[in-house]
Structure 1
Amino acid sequence: MTLSSLTSTIAVTSKDVGLTLREVSVSYRSPGRPAVRAVAGVSLRVQPGQVVGLVGESGCGKSTLGKAAVGLLKPSSGAVEFDGRPVAPLGLRSRPTTQRGLQMVFQDPYASLNPRRRVGEQISDAVVLAGGTRDKGRGVARELLERVGLPAEFADRFPHEFSGGQRQRIAIARVLAAEPTCIVADEPIAALDASAQASVANLLLELARERNVGLLFISHDLSIVRQIADTVAVMYLGTVVESGPTDQVWAEPRHPYSKALIAAVPRADGSGELPVDLPGDVPDPAFPPAGCRFHPRCPIAVDACADDEPVLVEFLPRRRAACSVLAPNLKKVG
């Protein structure tokens, strides 16, 4: 299982199965302000059965990237492909049947369900849209509710009758009704209380393993990502600064920002390094620093960091970091 920048030709072969982002950038424009480049040239891949964690502080572009991955936002440059075919923007009411296997779980379980419809009806919509009957959809809805840990009879209730954790399980059941092969989960536990967070995260992991579904798990919670993700990509101000197998990145982060994030995660036993006190604040993405975006806060920055924008370089198999200070001793990714 890999997390990498991908190159060249698109042909529908086994290697193209899954979700692929190639040098994706997304910009926002508003009157009287410069364009905000929320995502700046990010490449990654999510294959069936693989859990990829995408982490970083609030405002780093994680959610924007997730929305671009499923077609809710149109990239300003780069390409998004699912099973070797371009992901079409979702400006129309209908979604191409080739993209039915690409689904999204949203952050807010209170806003992602229609309050005026019974949850069983909402879950069954995917079955009906695929050509099944409403009766078949109701049966599928009851089965899926049980699979996500809720009683089948909950299908007849309305969203307001459930807690946040239960609503998120219902949202996951609705996604499963479309029989996805890849799920983008955008901060799926952030709005939940502590008791529900681990159970919902573990449910997503179980479903990914059980159904061989690729999962892009977007979160600012590194401790959860550490538990469920096979590989991880760390974002800062719209760019990926480090990626690799989760256990390796956690045990020995190389990029200064990754080190600061991991050092800040509390350990139950009190072990670990002292948090790194990074100077200053995260810059305004409308006015990103020249050169390396992290250099104004970086403890190892040199003068050249203000001029040179780093690229991801490989220093171990499947381990990459974007740092001009580290780069001279490392092999550049092809």
Structure 2
Amino acid sequence: MDARHYSRRRGQHGTPRLPRKLIIQIPCLNEAETLPITLADLPRQVPGYDIVEWLIVDDGSSDDTVEVAKAHGADHIVSLGGRYGLAVAFMVGVETCLRLGADTIVNTDADNQYRAEYIPDLVRPILEGRAQIVIGARPILETENFSWFKRRLQRLGSWVVRAASKTDIPDAPSGFRAIHREAAMQLNVFSAYTYTLETIVQAGRKRIPITWVPIKTNPPLRPSRLISSVPRYVALSVLTILRIFITYKPARFFGILSLIALVPGLISIIRFLVLFWLGRGGGHVQSLVLGASLVGLSALLLLGGVIADLIATNRRLLEDIRVRMCRQEARLSYSTRGEVSVEPDRPDTAQTS
């Protein structure tokens, strides 16, 4: 539905107010069977918004996902032209929503796991100005289709993310979330695996107001594709969190590693000096060699931390430039509503219809 068909309303002091737009985006990979059920539950009207549109991001599906999306009322479809992963599909969807003039973006799954009836609850904190990102928190311990191990794993992952981000989100892996356009402009996902953990840590580090609302889920329509292997999921989640720490706190990360190498190195050197002073140093040269090696490693790690911190400073400057560019594009799309191109930047093969 073209936003230009809507008339402007009057805001405070008689100034024109453009229609407030909500876009619900769904990353998809071979979801031809489940997508009709998901789309049938999505709302066309949400309190607080004048326009509600649906965006499908097709991550290289080999089935009829795109045709099914068109047949069941999707307003916009972005085809990536290949499989790039859930995180890339999520970010391409966010960037496309911004170009389409979205005030708020709601992300949900194509398997209808999340109940669309909670979308008004999800966006309410944003409409009230209390948050810019809202996570739909599932009742992990009460979800029957979650195994005992998966429940504990989800809770452990959420605890780690809370510690890393200094937020209080109880269900960090939840993909059911609402994002204000100002917050969406500041998000960058480096992992191709998942966006859920990384975006929360970024929100905490960038001081983006974030909160959560309780939700319930539907029975599963298919097995989870993200947790096909529990050890792999744990390893990738740990690597994601570790990568974020290195990206946002490189000086602290390398400083800790440097200190870990420095302390035993100094102990080894002091041990050798004491023994040498007592006249027994000849048989303990290995302590001096080990100590010197560890001190040298500590110096290299400290130097690496300095270089990484300089790179992080440059990255922050580039992110500021990116945010300003996104704001300019968003202002243009917000004022023209439907008169601008929505071709995504990433990946290069993406196509929009």
Pairwise same-fold verdict (TM > 0.5): no
Q: Which has the higher strand share?
A: 1
Q: Which has the higher helix share?
A: 2
TM-score between the two structures when normalised by the length of structure 2: 0.29
Bigger Cα Rg? 2
